[in-house]
Amino acid sequence: MKILVTGGAGFIGSNFIHYMMKNHPEDSIVNLDLLTYAGNLESLKGLEDRRNYRFVQGDIADRPFVMKLFEQEKFDWVVNFAAESHVDRSIVDPGVFVRTNIMGTQVLLDASREFGIKRCHQVSTDEVYGDLPLDRRDLFFTEQTPLHTSSPYSASKAGADLLVLAYHRTFGLPVTISRCSNNYGAYQFPEKMIPLMLTRALKDEPLPVYGTGENVRDWLHVEDHCAAIDRIMRDGRAGEVYNIGGHNEKTNLEVVRTILKALGKPESLIRFVEDRKGHDLRYAIDPAKLETELSWKPRYTFETGIRQTIDWYLGHQEWWQHILDGEYSEYFRKMYKM
C-alpha cells in the first residue's frame, strides 16, 4: 500500500509512521506536514534514508497543492492526523482551527474522491462528545453518544467528522473515523499535560494545574493508539466510527503526583492556577466495539506506560529542550501567567 499520512511530524503522526515502518515495511509512506509550531522533523530521525518513506512540506487546506500531490503519488490510503489540537490555543484563535481541521479535511476528502482512494481514515477525539459528570463513573462515551462540544477545538473536530460521514453517505467514499482518549508517550509537544509536567519538574519549576486538578481523563498510550488505527484501516467497516480508549482513568492531580513521585520531586512544586474556560470534567471511553469487532486491546496500563514515557523524556532531553528554547516559552508565559 502507498499511504499518505498527514500531520506526520506531529506527536501521534510521527509515532504512527514509526509504527508502520516497523510493522509493515512492505508499505510506503508519504508524510505531508506543514511544520507549524508543533511539527518536528527531529521526531522522525532515522527514517530520512528509507526507500519507502518521503517527507513533503505542505498545507492540507491548499487545494491545488493537495490535488497535484494526489495526482503524482497515486495513494491507496489516507490517514489524516493533521490538525490544530490544543484546546487553550483554540480559545485564543478559533479561526486557525476551523481552517485546518474542517476546510483541510474537506480538501482531503475531495482529493480522495477524485483519485479513487481505497480507504480514508480520519483521526478524531473523544472531546467531540463533551464531558461526563465526575460522580457518575458508570457512564462512558460510546459511538452512539451525541456530539456535544465544549471548545472551538472540539467543535472543529466534530465538524470534520460530520463531513467525513457525509462524504461516505453521499458519495460512497470508503471512510472510517477513530475517536481516542488522551494520548501520551514519546515525541509529545511540551504544551500537553504530561510532557509539560515532566519537563518542568526536571527543572524544578512550578507545575501549573488547572482549578483543583480533579478533572478526569482516560489515558491511552500512543503505541496502543497506533495499533488500533492500523487495525481499523485494514479491517474496519467503511462508514463506521470506532472509539479507542485505554481503560486508564486518572484525575489530573493523580497524574501530576505520579510524575513527581517517579522523578523524586516534591509536591510543593504544584501550583493551582485559574481553571480553563469551559473545562470538561471527565472523559471516559467505552472501546467495546473496537475490542469486539476487531480484537484490539490496549497493551499498556497507565503504570507501565507512564514509566516508559518518563524514561523516554529522560533519555531525550535534547529533543524537548530544543522546543523549549524556541517560541513556545513565550506562549507558556502568556497561557499560565508564570
| Catalytic positions, written as ranges | 126-127, 153
Looking at residue 161, its amino acid is D
User: Which residues fall within 8 angstroms of residue 218, CB to CB, at 6 or more apart?
Assistant: 126, 181, 182, 245, 246, 247, 248, 249, 283, 284, 285
CA distances from 315 to 55, 137, 149 (A): 26, 36, 37
Question: What CA–CA distances, in Å, run from 94 to 86, 88, 198?
Answer: 11, 10, 28
Cell of 225: 493508539
CA 312 to chain centre: 18
Task: DSSP letter for 299, please.
Answer: -
For residue 213, with 0-12 CB atoms within 10 Å meaning exposed, 13-18 middle and 19 or more buried, which class applies?
middle
Q: Which amino acid is at 252?
A: N
Rounded to whole angstroms, the Cα distance separating 145 from 288 reads 14
